[in-house]
Amino acid sequence: MRPTVHDIAAAAGVSLATVDRVLNQRPGVRLVTREKVEEAIRQIGYIRDVAAANLAKGRVYPLVFIVPTGDNSFMHGLRFEVNQAILRASIERTDIRVVEVPAFDVPALVAALDALQGQDIAGVALVATDAPEVRAAVGRLVSERIPVVTLVSDLTDSARHHYAGIDNIAAGRTAARLLGRFLGGHDGDITVLAGSMLVRDHRERLQGFSAVMAQEFPKLRLLPVLEGRDDPERTQSLISRALSENKNIIGIYSLGAGNRGLIAALKAVRPERELTVVVHELTQHTRTALLDGTIDAVLNQDAGHEVRSAIRVMKATADGQAVIADQERIRLDIFLKDNLP
């Protein structure tokens, strides 16, 4: 049987009340006594029964998710997963609130973060926009001892406790190698399609992609990045024009959202033109396109895993508990036609 508070009391030769004072850092314990108790805790290897403690405290974890508005399917999926988590809220003793903030709107994000100051909150998860003001606002929350987790998009050099998302540089590198290898030793041009170069994840993906391309596939030339702004129509016309103007394009890397337009453009040139295409985010559209051969590989991050991981980490951080690091590593999923879930 695992040791309880009673065992500590007995081992330390003090009363239960004193043990409780030490465990919950309440005042009124002499230093020597406190040390005696802490020694006993270590000696007998006491571990607090979190479930029982939460029961006694009536503990709930008020969590806040700050997610961008915007209608690209990835963010839709993310909000869907947060809503799924809300359905499990009572079981998991969480109380999840969602705050929507316009995408890329730094002042709005900062305002949303600052509005949480002083509130009784067990954790904040945010899709970060990488700006100094956001970094500062996160710092203010952290200094108030509020656990902060970045979700999907990280914040460089910030005080955030954890990042629940993929390594975007590695994702870009992986895309480059897939595309490079799939194209064999062929010669030609590669088009990169991004949502916007203002987003950190897109910049990082491009950075990784370019690095591997330059280093390992010198026969493939990178064309200037096209910015589709996650807009299907704009994307479609950009790609269509690029393809008709440049017959040397043999590969496409789409590192952002807005793949619907890309797929439409591809279908238009499809039987004649041979193209190898790697895209990000598994959606209904990309899944279908992968199955019918319009695209060749999909890189994905599992929004459900990210949300659940963020919740676990926020709760653990709030309790000062350790997390299973390996379990919380968000993996880059590579989907080919054959291993779709």
What is the contact surface with a copy of itself in residues (CB under 8 A)? Answer: 2, 47, 49-52, 54-55, 88, 90-91, 167, 170-171, 173-174, 176-178, 181-186, 208, 212, 296, 304-305, 308, 324, 326-327, 329, 331-334, 336-339, 341
Q: Which of DNA, a copy of itself, none does residue 15 bind to, with CB < 5 to 8 Å depending on kind?
A: DNA
C-alpha span between 180 and 192 (Å, rounded): 13
C-alpha span between 270 and 239 (Å, rounded): 13
CB closer to DNA, 15 vs 69: 15
Residue 329: closest CA among 129, 24, 312: 312
- The answer to whether residues 20 and 46 touch, using CB atoms and an 8 Å cutoff, is no
The reply on whether position 171 binds DNA by CB under 7 A is no
C-alpha span between 205 and 210 (Å, rounded): 9
Q: Which of a copy of itself, DNA, none does residue 28 bind to, with CB < 5 to 8 Å depending on kind?
A: DNA
Q: Which of a copy of itself, DNA, none does residue 24 bind to, with CB < 5 to 8 Å depending on kind?
A: DNA
Tally the C-alpha atoms within 13 A of residue 279's C-alpha that lie toward its C-beta: 28
Token digits of residue 248: 């040397």
The reply on whether position 1 binds DNA by CB under 7 A is yes
Tokens 């656990």 belong to: 147
Site for DNA in 253-312 (CB under 7 A): none
Token digits of residue 338: 């054959």
CB closer to DNA, 56 vs 322: 56
Candidates 39, 43, 52, 331; binder of DNA (CB under 7 A) is: 52
255 residue type, one letter: L
Binding segment for DNA (CB under 7 A), chosen from 26-34, 176-184, 215-223, 249-257, is 26-34
